[in-house]
Each structure stands twice: as structure tokens, then as C-alpha cells.
Amino acid sequence: MRYWLYKSEPGVYGIDHLERDGTTIWDGVRNYMARINLNAAAVGDLIFFYHSSANPPGVAGLAEVVETSVVDPLQFDPESKYFDPTSKPAEPRWITVRVKFVEKFPNFLPLDLLRRSFTPEELVTLRKGNRLSVTPVGDTTADRLLAMARA
DNA sequence: GCCAACGTTGGC
DNA sequence: GCCAACGTTGGC
């Protein structure tokens, strides 16, 4: 079982939306490096749900991968901003995962606390210039994040 | 709203 | 295959 950090803007889709919905397809990722990380996810992996472009930004809760190799439906939806006219239904370009709500953390972990608690090596999101929306989180870092979020 | 960082596109 | 222009992300 591995840990990941997924970013989403809470105004668009945040931890409260996931709690309401129960599960959701993690759609709209259109970055090849993020896609590699999405494809590497396995059922049972745990996801730190990060609120980006928020005030404050930070880690809000936990989700779990419940299905892999999910075809992102928005790539075939001409009305969607994530429509990809070069992707063919026979060989979809954008594959993602379905995740389920696990918990909203008792303690929201704001970005400034993350900066004070972890090095950029320990947490990819803290690395200068990193904007990747799907990144791996090491076990040790994950354990510390969980301890801080639930204490 | 600004802007740094960096991914993507397209002309050559 | 190079690289300038452009677009996007995301913190502030």
C-alpha cells in the first residue's frame, strides 16, 4: 500500500464534496507526469487530499483508491474544458482512478505548517516550482502527516 | 490580479 | 530536434 497526495481546488471539488458523494472519479488531470502517477496507483492506496488555490492551501483529509484504470469521461465530452479531441474511445489517452472518502482531518494541515514540518525532499509539493497535482508520499512522511492531522 | 515556474505547442 | 511563444498552475 502506498500513499499519494492529490491536489484539487476546493471551490471546484474539495474534501466536503467527496464526503457528500462518497466516491468520485479523479477526472480532469491532463499532465503526463501526473498521469504516470495515477497509473501507478493500486486499490487500497491512500491519498492525502490537498486543497490548492485555497485560503489557506493545505491537506484537508484522506481518500482511498477503490478502482484503477478508470477512463476519464471528460476527454470525450466536447462541452468539457478537459475534452481531448485527439483521444479515441478505442484507446483512451487519459486513465485515472476512482477514490472514496475516508476522513476529513480533525486538524487541517496548512501549507505553512507543512513547510515548517517537512523538507522539500520529504514532501514533493514543497519543492520549488513543483505544480504536479498527483505526487507520491513516502511512508515515513505519511505517518507523520497522519499523526499531525489526527492529534 | 500578479508572476514564477515549467509544460506544451508549433515553426523551422 | 531546437527553442520561442504561449498556456497553466498555484502561492501570495
Between CA A59 and CA A50 the distance in angstroms is 4
In terms of Cβ atoms closer than 10 Å to its own Cβ (0-12, 13-18, 19+), residue A95 is middle
Cell numbers representing residue A37 in the block:
502517477
CB-proximal positions of chain B, under 7 Å = 5-8
Strands of chain A (E only): list them. Answer: 3-8, 23-25, 46-51, 58-71, 95-110, 134-137
- Encode pLDDT of A105-118 as tens digits: 999 999 999 999 99
The model carries a pTM of: 0.94
Closest nucleotide C1' to the C-alpha of A31:
B7
Closest nucleotide C1' to the C-alpha of A129:
B5
Quick check: A114 and A58 in contact, CB under 8 A? Answer: yes
Chain A 46-105 contacts with nucleic strand B (CB below 7 A): none
Domains along the sequence of chain A with CATH? 3-150 (3.10.590.10)
* Cis status, amide bond into A78, omega within 30 of 0: no
DSSP state of A54: S
Measured from the CB, is A112 under 7 Å from any atom of strand C?
yes
- Encode pLDDT of A48-95 as tens digits: 999 999 999 999 999 999 999 999 999 988 888 888 888 888 888 999
